[in-house]
Amino acid sequence: MSSTVSVFKPDVFAGKVAFVTGGGSGICYGIVKQLMAHGCNAAIFGRRQKNIEDAAAALSKDTGKKCIGISGDVRKLDTLQEAIKRTVAEFGRIDFVVAGAAGNFLSPLAGLSANAFKTVLEIDTLGTYHTFKATIDELCKTKGSILAISATLHYTATPLQAHVSAAKAGVDALIKVIGVEYGPRGVRANIIAPGPIAGTEGMDRLMPKELVAEHTRAIPLQTYGSIDDIAQAATFLFSPGAKYITATTLVVDGGSWHTSQSV
Ligand code: HXC
């Protein structure tokens, strides 16, 4: 992860616990690393058991805090419920939830089977709902916060991304309703919409290398973002500095979606 000097107090999350789906790699790995670097313990959840356990060990080693890796599939509510039981047994509480597990590939509608469309909706939208469902009782106890990792694809009509655009629009709508319904219980719910972020599986899959230079010139801030840019934004949204922010989206894209047709 490229690193920026943190503007947050190193112990701002002391005593807190994070639960992060998709935390074994990419953007969500970067988020959980930043949260742990600011004092919290964490559980990360992903499909591949060895990967998630190795990632948890690396996060513990790098930050000096404790991370456990739990395998499961966000499409299966029971695997998330089991993971939450393990997390609470290990750490006693959950304060921060990141719904980050996602699936993506480029496909024109003409090449997209019904099962392919459904698969991405099940990972992204249903998976976010399952993550909420499995964690909300714990968040109500701690007056915690949930954060979904969405996208900007659906702000315009992005070709080859109908499935992900539909899925992320659903994620955005769901999170805003969670924010409204659970605000009175002290729970905040927000969205980060990353733009083009270098070094992620999403960008590797979606952006042909020969188009990178042209694409970069179209971004107002003239560069791709880093995983750390997203992690810093997440740190802010979980911090007390964001205590009056709920049911909203923080777009972290260098201004990209205003000027860019694709990602
Ligand atoms: C067309 C495809 C396809 C492709 C899979 N399918 N890949 N269709 N083009 N490239 C179809 C399959 O043929 C199948 O339909 C259906 O999708 C399910 O595929 P499976 O491989 O059986 O599903 P599964 O093993 O669950 O894999 C899920 C996946 C996979 C989404 C398809 O690619 C995945 O998990 N990817 C890794 C996660 C990932 O990409 N993360 C980065 C997300 S980035 P049929 O009809 O044949 O049964 C992101 C950010 C977005 O989300 C914003 C970017 C800026």
* Region 71-82 average pLDDT: 98
- 3-state helix/strand/coil string of 225-236: ECHHHHHHHHHH
Q: What's this model's pTM, rounded to 2 decimal places?
A: 0.95
| 174 occurs within a structural domain | yes
**Does a structural domain hold residue 258?**
no
The alpha-carbon radius of gyration of the chain (Å, integer) is 17
Asked if 168 is an active-site residue, the reply is yes
CATH number at residue 207: 3.40.50.720
Across all residues in the chain, what is the average pLDDT?
95
Residue 257 forms part of a structural domain:
no
Our count of domains for the chain comes to 1
State which of 52, 115, 119, 204 you would mutate to test the pocket of ligand 1, scoring each by most atoms of that ligand within 8 A of its C-beta.
119
Instruction: Establish if 10 belongs to a structural domain.
Output: no
- The pLDDT score that the predictor gives to residue 6 is 84
Q: With beta carbons less than 8 A apart as the criterion, state whether 192 and 226 touch.
A: no
37, part of any domain: yes
**Residue 22 φ/ψ region, left for φ over 0, alpha for ψ in the -120 to 50 degree band, beta for the rest:** left
Q: Is residue 262 part of a domain?
A: no
Task: Tell me the C-alpha distance between 52 and 74, whole Å.
Answer: 14
Ligand 1 atom at minimal distance to the Cα of residue 47: 35
Is 142 domain-assigned? yes
Ligand 1 centroid–CA 117 distance in Å is 9
**Residues 188-202: tens digit of each pLDDT:** 999 999 999 999 988
ipTM: 0.93
Q: What are phi and psi of 189, to 5 degrees?
A: -135, 120
d(CA 131, CA 145): 12
Residue ranges making up the domain that contains 222:
17-252
- Please report the atom of ligand 1 found closest to the CA of residue 197: 55
What is the whole-number distance in angstroms between the Cα of residue 105 and the centre of ligand 1? Answer: 5
| Nearest CA owner, ligand 1 atom 16 | 116
Q: CA 152 to CA 164: how far, in whole Å?
A: 10
Residue 205's pLDDT band, with cuts at 50, 70 and 90, is confident
Closest to 256 in 3D by CA, of 224, 228, 226: 224
Q: Helix, strand or coil for residue 243?
A: coil
| Residue 150 appears among annotated catalytic residues | yes
Tokens standing for residue 162: 């109908």
Asked, for residue 261, whether it belongs to a domain, the answer is: no
